[in-house]
Amino acid sequence: MFESFNPTPRVLMGPGPSNVSPRVLGALARPTVGHLDPQFIGLMDEIKQLLQYAFCTKNEFTIALSAPGSAGMEACVVNLIEPNDKVIVCINGVFGNRLKENVERVGAQPIVVEDKWGDPVSVEKVSDALAAHPDAKALAFVHAETSTGARSDAKSLCQLAQQYGVLTIVDAVTSLGGNELRVDDWGIDAIYSGSQKCLSCVPGISPVSFSDKAVEVLKNRKTKVPSWFLDQSLVMDYWSGGGKRSYHHTAPINSLYALHESLLVLKQEGLEQTWQRHAQLHKSLHTGLTELGIDFLVDENFRLPQLNSVIIPDGVDDAQVRATLLNKYNLEIGAGLGQLAGKTWRIGLMGTTAHAQNIALLLAALKDALR
């Protein structure tokens, strides 16, 4: 006999999704309208403006892609990169590898700059790679590496790219709304994020923004974008301001209600205040974990406040501790990914979840589980 699904509420302190506030969940339940309804078109315009605020950009092409952050990554690559293009791809964790995979799948040539997992992308190595490959078309890197909790110097990397006249493609899935990110000031050409991390919205939406330079590259491609659905030249007229919108696909209407509400929450708190809240709560978490004898993977200068990778103490059963937290305390933390599986836990302090009482619960629950 099937029944309605009613999950046990959890405190989501893993690498995402984060907890969704009742206010955002309430937005999901509002009446569905048509995807070309004038009311919905007006909402889309507001979402664009709120995303421009969140990204710190005036880019006209700033939209909410109707798919999760992984599709945002793919959209940036398939629209801007063509077969045989050279792309400097920075790998310092799982998601740098995924960028490389996307570059390869469009028939382009990745020039890999590799750093140790837990370290930021080396600006010096990127400089050397750009000097060695003056014909490179783009530099692709992860700003906030979700698999390790390391923050790379996006500003310096983008300045380098500008010196060499190459595009930048930036993964901001975990950084948007969690730590400083300034698209226009730093000169980022194409950027993508996810709705379920620091924005504390439901999963399934990818905020994306292209600079005017990136839009021109897209418009002047020699070949067709290999993905019809992700071809942003077809989506532009649907998201363009004013006038008649051309139909491309049926947008996830209620999920966009939720995104609008989550962005409104961000705007009302204030972007810099949100960055500061994450930073302050990270300090509290750091103090408590240190008292429990738990060390961090990433050097203090490069740690993400919203995604904390910590080293599992010797002799501790990774899966058992996480199961205790989940089953006894309804609290979720993340396992290590890739080469860090079984070696680290990933503790999220994102958006709505970034709250002092959640830190207190986690520290008490961890102390019990480790005992």
**Beta strands 144-145 and 206-210, pairing class:** unpaired
The pLDDT > 90 percentage for the chain reads 96
DSSP string, 208-252: EEE-HHHHHHHHT-SS--S-STT-HHHHHHHHSSSSPPPP-S---
* Model pLDDT for residues 260-304, shown as the tens digit of each residue: 999 999 999 999 999 999 999 999 999 999 999 999 999 999 999
How far is C-alpha 321 from the geometric centre of its chain's CA atoms? 27
Residue intervals of the chain classified under CATH 3.90.1150.10 are 11-17+270-370
What is the pLDDT confidence band of residue 246, given thresholds at 50, 70 and 90?
confident
Cα separation, 267 vs 269, in Å, equals 6
* Model pLDDT for residues 158-173, shown as the tens digit of each residue: 999 999 999 999 999 9
Angle value at C-alpha 11, between 13 and 283, nearest 5 degrees:
45
Cα separation, 304 vs 227, in Å, equals 33
Measured CA distances, 143 to 114, 192, 244, 347 (Å): 14, 10, 36, 18
The pLDDT > 70 percentage for the chain reads 99
What is the pLDDT confidence band of residue 252, given thresholds at 50, 70 and 90?
very high
Cα separation, 212 vs 162, in Å, equals 14
CATH superfamily for domain 11-17+270-370: Aspartate Aminotransferase, domain 1 (3.90.1150.10)
What is the pLDDT confidence band of residue 242, given thresholds at 50, 70 and 90?
low
Q: Which of 80, 53, 91 is nearest to 216 (CA)?
A: 80
Instruction: Tell me the average pLDDT of the chain.
Output: 97
Query: What's the whole-number mean pLDDT along residues 125-147?
Result: 98
Cα separation, 15 vs 350, in Å, equals 8
Angle between the 69-80 and 94-105 helix axes, to the nearest 10 degrees? 40
What is the pLDDT confidence band of residue 132, given thresholds at 50, 70 and 90?
very high
* Per-residue pLDDT at 237: 85
* Per-residue pLDDT at 245: 81
CATH code for the structural domain at 22-267: 3.40.640.10
Residue intervals of the chain classified under CATH 3.40.640.10 are 22-267
pTM higher than the cut 0.95: yes
* Per-residue pLDDT at 241: 64
* Model pLDDT for residues 35-87, shown as the tens digit of each residue: 999 999 999 999 999 999 999 999 999 999 999 999 999 999 999 999 999 99
* Per-residue pLDDT at 240: 81
* Per-residue pLDDT at 53: 98
Residue 350 has pLDDT above 80, yes or no: yes
Cα separation, 193 vs 64, in Å, equals 9
